Amino acid sequence: MSSNALFYLTSNDMPLVSHADGIYIWDTTGRRYIDACSGAITCNVGHNHPTVKRAMVEQLDKVAFSYRTQFESQVALDLAARLVDLTDGEIDKVFFVGSGSEAVESAIKLAVQYFVAKGQPERCKFVSLRPSYHGSTIGALGLTGYEPLEAPYRSITLGSVKVPSPDLYRYQEASAEEHIASVLEQTESAILAAGPETIAAVALEPVGGASTGGRMVTRAYMEGVRALCDRYGCLLVMDEVLSGMGRTGAWFAYQHFGVVPDIIALAKGLGSGYYPIAAMMARQELVDEVSRSGGFMHGHTYAGNPLACATGLAVIDVMDSERLVSNAAEQGTYLRQQLDQLAQKYDCIGNVRGVGLLQGVELVQDKARKQPFPASFNAFDKLTALAKARGLLIYPRRSLNGLEGDHVLITPPLTVTASDIDDIIALLDDSLA
């Protein structure tokens, strides 16, 4: 039997995973790691949670799978209602899918179908930010603002109109306010150049995740983008695949900015690593319009099956009963203080940014000039490997545009305590040293 039949095996010295509990994960040699990145910013309620496991087993004992064209399931209805409640009713409808990429993909399709239904089929272009990450399927990749990922497929992707993502660390203007104003101006110019009547939606991550390492925007920026969408009649899509489900100290990151999107893509934390469930949420009007013209034409076999939805419900139950959203806000503040102290101690930390338990650390060669390490130095890989050797898992990302530095994300499960954070910081400190 081949010991290396996995298509994606990237390294032969990858440890074999054994088991996990809470914020810890062990390999088969008995080594313990602190999972300070929740896997892929996914395991929000921590590993091996008894409540989630119990709910999944209870659902398995009843029915794991039923097909949505043959049966509706109470757990799907309940989970959809819970998600709508978490938006305070600002978003009315939920469509279950299987991954973050598919949530984005279905957001693209809903936006296009909405305008077709309204008799505006020419509205089929999208505006997205550079850098950004929206997923790996062809549609989601077309929104993703990172050329090397899209390059081989350029002829078959959407080719969205790319506009700059606000950068509150490295901007050239005299103030952050002027920078935001300039980015908004460039966004409007791009919309006008593409033809406003051809734009279906502007898509963005409310807080950058793997793409920009926790880069934040401001309320003025969000309000500005919303105003542009309203002025030119297009939709606002927020990709909350990574930032949603309490990660930032609010159920959805958009809630920090007081700006309501038309469509939300949600994934990672919803299944919290226990089941690949994701969702696309949309305003009632969009769904009504599409329903009148024959219904939304998207659907995968596993979408919204009972086991998936029972998992999502159990995750939300745990988040509620353990007050994990407020814990994310509280521990996020503590984590940020500790990371800021490391930034004072180490010249290679150029910037710490993010909100709640979504914190990014940008690595630079020259702090005063904010100059990144050369790409060949692989700063993100080096720090991640040093941390892993010390039993700490952090999430590495190469700079997506070559202009900013590599970064690592520190995004522990939302169950993390202050003393866990002390352990994480001690190991990170040692790795940086």
Q: Which residues bind ligand PMP (CB under 6 A)?
A: 99-101, 104, 133-136, 205, 209-210, 239, 241-242, 267
Q: At a CB cut-off of 8 Å and minimum separation 6, what does 2 contact?
A: none
Q: C-alpha distances in angstroms, 333 versus 205, 249, 359, 393, 404?
A: 21, 10, 10, 20, 25
Nearest approach, Cβ of 289 to ligand PMP (angstroms)? 25
DSSP letters for 159-199: -PEEEEPP-TTT--SSSHHHHHHHHHHHHHHHHHHH-GGGE
Q: Which is closer to ligand PMP, CB of 209 or CB of 360?
A: 209
Nearer to ligand PMP, 268 or 336 (CB): 268
Name the minimum Å distance from CB 253 to ligand PMP.
10
- Say if strands 349-355 and 358-363 run parallel, antiparallel, or are unpaired: antiparallel
Residue closer to ligand PMP (CB basis): 34 or 267 = 267
Q: How far is the CB of 93 from ligand PMP (least distance, A)?
A: 20
Give me the least distance between CB of 22 and ligand PMP, in Å please: 23
Residues 6+ apart with CB under 8 A from 416: 23, 327, 331, 335, 357, 424
Residues 6+ apart with CB under 8 A from 268: 40, 41, 42, 44, 100, 241, 242, 244, 245, 278
Is the Cβ of residue 267 or residue 387 nearer to ligand PMP in the bound state? 267
* Rounded least distance, CB 284 to ligand PMP, Å: 24
Residue 316: CB atoms within 10 A of its CB come to 24
The residue at minimum Cβ distance from ligand PMP is 100
Q: How far is the CB of 221 from ligand PMP (least distance, A)?
A: 17
Q: What is the largest CA-CA distance in the chain?
A: 63
Please say which residue, 104 or 352, places its beta carbon nearer to ligand PMP: 104
CB of 285 to ligand PMP, least distance (A): 24
Cα–Cα distance for residue pair 56/37, rounded to 1 Å:
24
From edge to edge, which strands make up the β-sheet containing 24-27?
17-21, 24-27, 32-35, 392-393
Residue 157 or 338: the one with the smaller Cβ distance to ligand PMP is 157
End-to-end CA distance of the chain: 43
DSSP notation for 413-431:
-TT--HHHHHHHHHHHHHH
Q: How far apart are CA 184 and CA 198, in angstroms?
A: 19
Considering the complex, state which of residue 39 and residue 420 has its C-beta at the smaller distance from ligand PMP: 39
- Residue 133 or 251 having the CB closest to ligand PMP: 133
The two tokens of residue 89 are 């009713």
Tell me how far, at minimum, the Cβ of 240 lies from ligand PMP, in Å.
8
